[in-house]
């Protein structure tokens, strides 16, 4: 967990500890497949307690304290810390089509926003005292703190699994082993949080598989260049060392796929 995230979390905790009362009218929303989202703002509107239920994830039924943030024009997000990152769990967005507004939730492990529908009956029945009690109990047990902490091992395992899948596809297309090894020491936590390492470091294997699929003549080249070493550096480079391809990538490098494909054609 970064210093910024720790400071952010501490600021939120101190906000609730300063005896902020919850506003009189909390909101409960429902979504697909039994999803329920509670949003209970404080009286000053700067923070809110949030709870998501009905999801197969560790955040299920955990009460978070979110800080209100404006994100661009027409978006109001309630932000907490998850996996070492600021996370806009619940957001109110201006509806571009037909006016009005819509509420959405961004769930960990799921792409895109999930639309929510306001449930008046559940909103009126919500017991905010119980919500605050649950938050305090979970906070004492360290539940939110554990979810806020960055899990490097989990991210590494996920990236390695994705890279292995790309290698398997390329190996099948080329008829010879393709294996990508990564210099994980060149990849700090910030890159793991923000970037898809498998997409960056899997680009060479991906392009090799594509070229083998479209040009049978390339398969002989691929058989001698199936070992790939990937690292992050100050600029994008690709070179041959013996029977190994050494790929240096950079998070801001443009046209990575074209660069790799052109290099492979010239081998």
Is residue 223 predicted with pLDDT exceeding 60?
yes
Domain termination site, one of 90, 115, 148: 148
3-state secondary structure the chain: CCHHHHHHHHHHHHHHHCCCCECCCCEEEECHHHCEEEEEEECCCCEEEEEEECCCCCCCCCEEEEEEEECCCCEEEEEEEECCEEEEEEEEEECCCCCCEEEEECCCCCCCCEEEEECHHHHHHCCHHHHHHHHHHHHHCCHHHHHHCCCHHHHHHHHHHHHHHHHHHHHHHHCCCCEEEECHHHCCHHHHHHCCHHHHHCHHHHHHHHHHHHCHHHHHHHHHCCEEEEEECCCCEEEEECCEEEEEECCCCCCHHHHHHHHHHCC
Let me know whether 70 and 190 are in one domain: no
C-alpha 103/C-alpha 66 separation (Å) is 15
Domain termination site, one of 126, 148, 170: 148
Q: Are 228 and 244 in contact (CB under 8 A)?
A: yes
Task: Kindly list the distances between the CA atom of residue 239 and the CA atoms of 7, 85, 113, 197, 225, in Å, as whole numbers in the listed order.
Answer: 43, 35, 41, 20, 11
Q: What is the mean pLDDT of the chain?
A: 89
Let me know whether 95 and 217 are in one domain: no
Work out the pLDDT band at 41, boundaries 50, 70, 90. very high
| pLDDT score for 95 | 76
C-alpha 201/C-alpha 205 separation (Å) is 8
Give the domain range for residue 63: 3-148
Is residue 34 predicted with pLDDT exceeding 50?
yes
Is residue 242 predicted with pLDDT exceeding 60?
yes
Neighbours of 103 (CB within 10 A): 20
Is residue 117 predicted with pLDDT exceeding 70?
yes
Work out the pLDDT band at 8, boundaries 50, 70, 90. very low
- What number is the average pLDDT over the span 168-179? 96
| pLDDT score for 15 | 46
C-alpha 151/C-alpha 191 separation (Å) is 13
Let me know whether 136 and 74 are in one domain: yes
- What number is the average pLDDT over the span 138-167? 94
Share of the chain above pLDDT 90, in %: 69
Let me know whether 9 and 96 are in one domain: yes
Domain termination site, one of 103, 121, 148: 148
Q: Which tens digit of pLDDT belongs to each residue from 42-66?
A: 999 999 999 999 999 999 999 999 9
Let me know whether 20 and 68 are in one domain: yes
- What number is the average pLDDT over the span 18-28? 80
Let me know whether 180 and 125 are in one domain: no
Let me know whether 255 and 124 are in one domain: no
Q: Are 260 and 203 in contact (CB under 8 A)?
A: yes
- What number is the average pLDDT over the span 121-134? 96
Number of domains in the chain: 2
| pLDDT score for 115 | 95
Let me know whether 37 and 58 are in one domain: yes
Q: Are 128 and 42 in contact (CB under 8 A)?
A: no
| pLDDT score for 98 | 64
Let me know whether 51 and 125 are in one domain: yes
Let me know whether 135 and 43 are in one domain: yes
Query: 185 or 201, which is more confident?
Result: 201
Is residue 163 predicted with pLDDT exceeding 50?
yes
| pLDDT score for 20 | 58
Work out the pLDDT band at 17, boundaries 50, 70, 90. very low
Let me know whether 161 and 139 are in one domain: no
Query: 6 or 86, which is more confident?
Result: 86
Tokens of 44: 């000053």
Does the global pTM surpass 0.85?
A: no
Let me know whether 10 and 100 are in one domain: yes
Is residue 32 predicted with pLDDT exceeding 50?
yes
């Amino acid at each position: 967990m970064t210093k910024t995230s720790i400071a952010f979390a501490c600021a939120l905790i101190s906000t609730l500890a300063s005896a902020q009362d919850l506003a009189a009218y909390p909101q409960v929303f429902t979504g697909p497949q039994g999803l329920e989202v509670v949003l209970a703002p404080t009286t000053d509107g700067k923070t809110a307690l949030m709870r998501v239920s009905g999801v197969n994830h560790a955040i299920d039924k955990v009460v978070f304290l979110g800080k209100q943030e404006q994100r661009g024009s027409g978006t109001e997000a309630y932000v907490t810390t998850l996996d070492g990152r600021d996370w806009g769990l619940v957001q109110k967005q201006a509806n571009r089509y037909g006016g009005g507004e819509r509420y959405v939730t961004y769930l960990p492990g799921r792409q895109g926003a999930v639309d929510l529908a306001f449930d008046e009956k559940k909103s009126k029945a919500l017991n905010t005292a119980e919500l605050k009690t649950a938050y305090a109990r979970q906070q004492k047990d360290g539940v939110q703190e554990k979810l806020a902490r960055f899990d490097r091992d989990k991210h590494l395992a996920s990236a390695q699994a994705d890279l292995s899948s790309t290698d398997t596809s390329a190996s099948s297309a080329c008829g010879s082993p393709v294996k990508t090894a990564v210099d994980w020491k060149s990849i700090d936590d910030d890159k793991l949080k923000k970037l898809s390492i498998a997409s960056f470091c899997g680009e060479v294997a991906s392009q090799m598989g594509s070229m083998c699929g479209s040009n049978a003549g390339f398969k002989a080249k691929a058989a001698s260049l199936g070992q790939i070493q990937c690292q992050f550096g100050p600029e994008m480079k690709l070179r041959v060392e013996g029977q190994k391809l050494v790929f240096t990538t950079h998070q801001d490098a443009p046209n990575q796929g074209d660069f790799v494909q052109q290099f492979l054609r010239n081998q």
